[in-house]
Structure 1
Amino acid sequence: MKIYEKIFARLNELHMSQTELSKRTGIATSTISDWRKKQINPQADKLSVICKALDMSLADLLCDKENTEQTTPTDYLIGDNYIMELFRESDADNKRRILRYFELLEICNEINDSCPAKKRQRNVSIIQDIDGNNIVVINDIRFKGKRSVNWKDVKEYIKEYVGDFYKIASTGDVIYIGSDLPSEYSGSKYTNSLKGATSKAKANAASGLPEMIEIAVGKHFRINQEMKHKRDAKNGWYRYDSRFALPVYGNDGEIERYNVFHASMLIRHSNDEKLYLYDIIDIKKETSNPLGE
């Protein structure tokens, strides 16, 4: 039985709808439906969250029953000995599937470290506030001055990210940077509406895009309702919450404090089944002092 067939068999067994599976996994209902219609399996980086939603082990999903019925039940955190035993008792086809899965999983785990943007000279770090929540601290004030932001410069800078991809730690989702991001980030209706400090905050947030993706939380889905996005957001939109901090300098050139901002990361789910960062919106300065300064 193929992986997608096992998923739908388990849905029937649990009397669970595709809509409920979508809510539990964050995978679009259209994508789930396509598994059966097109007879295709889910992407490897989605298998773990699917197993948790369906209360089944990775072994049950990847291997045929005759290869797993003699093995010891396991939790989702699979130990090395269990993996070796499972691999040893599998037939050739299942061995290839197991190896391919962990090969893809390893690729996902190394995504952030291997991306070119991680190797650029950027003074950016991730810290936790007094409540234990993550904040991306951006010490590179790349776009500064008293005049308005030159968004052409921001656009050229963001072009350096095109082709990169990063993983959200809380969900495991891989977010790609497409060729549309530079123009949208620098020229969207939202960007054009910004003024003053908020405008400069968005411009300088560009330096911390990889880390802002990494710490993003609060994933929620919205269907696509615009014809112009029929292709590039065929499977709808996701929003994630993220936070970043920018330094405020005194007259002596020393850092006096940090301003912390909340932002929504707008992600489009394209017809190629990939997730792409489309824009950062709803940037708001936090009134409290989460850094405890």
Structure 2
Amino acid sequence: MNIYEKIFDRLTELHMSQIELSRRTGIATSTISDWRKKKINPQADKLVAICKALDMSLVDLLCNGDEKEEKVVQTDYMLDERQIVEVFRMADNETKRRLLRYFELVEICNQINENNISKKNKRNVSVIQDIDGNNIVVINDIIFKGKRSINWKDVREYLKNYIGDFYTIASTGDIVYIGLDLPNEYSGSKYTHSIKGTNAKAKANAAQGIPELIEIAVGKHFRENTEAKHWRNAKFGWYRYDSRFALPVYDEVGEIERYNVFHTSLIVRHSEDKKLYLYDILDIKKETSNPIEP
């Protein structure tokens, strides 16, 4: 079975539309339709996003049942490049096809590992409680510094790591998704352009704690959507939640002196697909009476 056939079989199994797959992967609906119409497979760099959206492994997508069950033949793998090229040159077309698919799979797996390691290394985040039992997301690193201003392009690229993820708000059970619009809105909204100094630095670095900020959110408030441009992506209105985070303050020798605590509001849209999506975080304010000692 071809890769594109497996994709459409999986869509049927999940009762998922091509539009929803497009939204989750960022792949144009016309491109998805072409896979079936033209009987072509997706490009290799799209496979990771497709697997994530369809909740399936790369092995399931790339290999047929008989290929997955084939036993590994014992052989001497201490080959130099010339031997590998010669083996490939002498192989029949079917073997070449399988070898190319294997190397493609290895490359994709390496990309996944690199992305996961990179993403993991950039997040040094924990959740603590203050003396009143309220949660605070502690972000232990300042990765967006900027002596004069924040490079919001870097923040936008960082936020793309979250696209397709979802998190549950503990206090309400609401599931909040990260859509394609968050990176641009978070880094380029009117509010973002209006804040400077400490608050700009706070919002930029709060990006590291997005999962935890969602999970500890409280105080759900609803308002109807009144803006025509959001008639689809916020068809069922907007929700605002309260959340808190803390960032380190360093002394002259680079040691952490204390943590400043900030309050923020999470803005969540209720889309036409009846799912909740994080849209932006606003109203960042430092709590002057609640610093945390390291």
Counterpart-to-counterpart distance in 2, 1:120 and 1:250 = 27
SS in structure 1 of the partner of residue 232 of structure 2: coil
Asked if 2 retains the 8 angstrom alpha-carbon contact of 1:175 and 1:213, the reply is yes
Counterpart-to-counterpart distance in 1, 2:154 and 2:238 = 28
SS in structure 2 of the partner of residue 262 of structure 1: strand
In the alignment of these two chains, the number of paired residues is 178
Show the counterpart of 2:143: 142
Q: Which runs of 5+ in 2 are unaligned?
A: 1-115
Show the counterpart of 1:238: 239
SS in structure 2 of the partner of residue 278 of structure 1: strand
Show the counterpart of 2:15: none
Asked if 1 retains the 8 angstrom alpha-carbon contact of 2:259 and 2:293, the reply is no
1:275 aligns with 2:276: yes
CA RMSD of aligned residues (A): 1.7
Q: Percentage identity across aligned positions?
A: 76
Counterpart-to-counterpart distance in 2, 1:289 and 1:143 = 23
Asked if 2 retains the 8 angstrom alpha-carbon contact of 1:264 and 1:281, the reply is yes
Show the counterpart of 1:108: none
Encode CA deviations 1:211-230: one digit per residue, 9 max, x unaligned.
Answer: 00000000010000000000
SS in structure 2 of the partner of residue 120 of structure 1: helix
Show the counterpart of 2:120: 120
**TM-score computed with the length of structure 2 as normaliser:** 0.59
Q: Which runs of 5+ in 1 are unaligned?
A: 1-115
Counterpart-to-counterpart distance in 1, 2:192 and 2:145 = 17
Show the counterpart of 1:217: 218
Encode CA deviations 1:143-198: one digit per residue, 9 max, x unaligned.
Answer: 01312000000000001110000000001100000000000000000000011110
* Displaced runs of 4 or more, over 2 A: 290-293
Counterpart-to-counterpart distance in 2, 1:292 and 1:196 = 22
Counterpart-to-counterpart distance in 1, 2:287 and 2:218 = 17
Counterpart-to-counterpart distance in 1, 2:255 and 2:195 = 27
Task: Show the 5 A alignment for 1:1-293.
Answer: 120-121=120-121, 122-289=123-290, 291=292
Asked if 2 retains the 8 angstrom alpha-carbon contact of 1:130 and 1:291, the reply is no
Counterpart-to-counterpart distance in 1, 2:291 and 2:149 = 28
Asked if 1 retains the 8 angstrom alpha-carbon contact of 2:258 and 2:293, the reply is no
C-alpha displacement of 1:290: 5.6
Counterpart-to-counterpart distance in 1, 2:126 and 2:139 = 7
Encode CA deviations 1:77-109: one digit per residue, 9 max, x unaligned.
Answer: xxxxxxxxxxxxxxxxxxxxxxxxxxxxxxxxx
**TM-score computed with the length of structure 1 as normaliser:** 0.59
SS in structure 1 of the partner of residue 148 of structure 2: coil
Encode CA deviations 1:4-40: one digit per residue, 9 max, x unaligned.
Answer: xxxxxxxxxxxxxxxxxxxxxxxxxxxxxxxxxxxxx
Q: Which amino acid aligns with 2:154?
A: D
C-alpha displacement of 1:292: 6.7
C-alpha displacement of 1:271: 0.3
Q: Which amino acid aligns with 1:246?
A: L
